[in-house]
Copies of this chain bind each other. A is one copy, B any other.
Amino acid sequence: MKQNMPITKEKIIAASWELLRGKGIENFTMRKLAEQLDIKAASLYWHFKSKQHIFQVLAEEVAKHILLAERDDGDWKEQLFQFGVNMRKQLQAYPCSAQLLMQTMPSAPEYVALFEHMLVVVDKLSLKDKDKFSSIACFMDYILAFELDAYERNKVRLEITQDIENKEQKSYLNLSIYKRDSSFKILHRMHFNGMFKNMGSDDMFETGLKIIILGIEQLT
């Protein structure tokens, strides 16, 4: 990480991804970012006018990579499905990218390009423009929320394992209570904790994708 060469925007962005991966977006600070680059926090402000602006650049980078990895195979249903799978793959490759996109979305030109790209896929359907737009918005909302959710759940999971290490045993999720509580009949039947542990899996993600694609088809 230590270099004598002058800092560039590119190096700051690269270090930002590292910091996000290591500390998460809630612990991303200008001071830590500067430390990682062997400079002082104040120096960052020569390259970027604010932390928010760094986030915007990161978000646009993600949006760009989502579009780059696109190939258009099969019918519209297959295309939409592949787009969803690929978008999630990119979101997983860039730490906290769902948060970044959610925060900065409508201002980024790349975001609009994403929208346009998906509208093309759905344009051949015999739907009102308004419904095409709603379909794509729903599709993207689902994907983003799925990853936001996964991130939060992972955070809780890490806190718990940390507490166990510290012999604190706080048990944020005391599932044992629900296991015995007869008021949650269906969840109980579904093997409560197994179901919740399966949240965030590839399988669950793809089922959601299928639901939305089938739903769009049905809207015609």
Contacts and interface: CB of A to CB of B under 8 A. Distances in A.
B138 A142 contact: yes
A184 to B, nearest CB: 5
Given A141-B142, A145-B145, A119 B186 contact: yes
User: Copies per complex?
Assistant: 2
Interface residues of A, number: 61
Contacts of A213: 215
A146 B141 contact: yes
A81 interface: no
Interface of A: 102-103, 105-107, 109, 112-113, 115-116, 119-120, 123, 129-135, 137-138, 141-142, 144-146, 148-149, 152-153, 156, 172-173, 177-178, 183-187, 189-190, 195-196, 198-199, 203-204, 207-208, 210-219
